[in-house]
């Protein structure tokens, strides 16, 4: 799909030879143009498949640890608020 400007508006024209560029391709090219050329230009598979899989597992573990840490932070805040409320009730009860 391409855009061709007309008078005051643009119309979409379908071009069978046009290729959509994905965000992954743009990121790949920005990181390493040679990697983009090999992977997308020549269609060669990455030769570091084991490292890519290890990186995926690493990031999955980190994401799980982040979720647990976030839950524990929320739990800690709830405990502190409950303790503050209990202390406030106790202090107010001593005055009355």
Counting Cα atoms < 13 Å in the Cβ hemisphere of 84 gives 6
pLDDT in tens, 19-42: 788 999 999 999 999 999 999 999
Cα dihedral 77, 80, 82, 85 sign: negative
pLDDT in tens, 45-57: 888 889 999 999 9
Please give the C-alpha separations between residue 8 and each of 13, 22, 50, 94, in angstroms, as whole numbers.
16, 29, 53, 77
Strand partners, 5: 10
Query: What's this model's pTM, rounded to 2 decimal places?
Result: 0.52
């Amino acid at each position: 799909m391409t855009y061709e400007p007309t008078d005051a508006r643009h119309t979409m024209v379908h071009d069978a030879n046009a290729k959509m560029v994905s965000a992954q391709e743009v990121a790949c090219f920005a990181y390493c143009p040679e990697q983009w050329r090999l992977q997308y230009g020549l269609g060669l598979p990455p030769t570091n498949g084991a490292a890519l899989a290890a990186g995926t597992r690493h990031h999955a573990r980190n994401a799980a640890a982040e979720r647990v840490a976030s839950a524990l932070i929320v739990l800690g805040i709830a405990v502190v608020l409950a303790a503050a409320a209990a202390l406030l009730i106790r202090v107010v009860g001593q005055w009355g």
